[in-house]
Amino acid sequence: MRIKQHERLRIWRERAGLNQLQAADRLGLTYREYLALEKGRAPATRLRISLPRAGSLSRGEECLIMRLRAGKTQAQVAAEIGCCRRWVMLMERGEAPADTLVWYWEH
């Protein structure tokens, strides 16, 4: 799976366990600057962090990227696969087996 720079930024933030405000602070950015980066509205050329590469993504993180690209919320995906939103969040984070999510996005 090929991922864009703003998607890699999102994965970095998730792995670090940060919310968007905390990520902005850690990077020395304003909240608005950070949001523009994470949404792909601004180039992330001045970041001094190592962003994850596509080959290093877990199955859950790949599902997160697919969900974001599809414009769906965790709640929408949860309703479609018959589980709660928290379970989708745990699968995307790698804290629960992601087999159900992988199946969902493959079919």
Mark whether 19 and 48 lie in a shared domain.
yes
Mark whether 12 and 46 lie in a shared domain.
yes
At residue 69, does pLDDT exceed 90? yes
Mark whether 82 and 42 lie in a shared domain.
no
- Beta-carbon contacts of 23 under 8 Å, excluding residues fewer than 6 positions away, are 12, 13, 16, 34, 38
Mark whether 46 and 86 lie in a shared domain.
no
pLDDT at 55: 80
Mark whether 48 and 75 lie in a shared domain.
no
Q: Which range marks the domain in which residue 22 is found? A: 5-53
Q: SS3 for 29-47, per residue? A: CCHHHHHHHHCCCCCCCCC
pLDDT band at 103 (very low <50, low <70, confident <90, very high): very high
Mark whether 65 and 93 lie in a shared domain.
yes
pTM summary value: 0.85
At residue 50, does pLDDT exceed 80? no
pLDDT band at 5 (very low <50, low <70, confident <90, very high): confident
Total domain count for the chain? Answer: 2
Mark whether 74 and 98 lie in a shared domain.
yes
Residue pLDDT, tens place only, 10-42: 999 999 999 999 999 999 899 999 999 999 998
Mark whether 99 and 67 lie in a shared domain.
yes
Provide the residue type at 36 as one letter. Answer: A
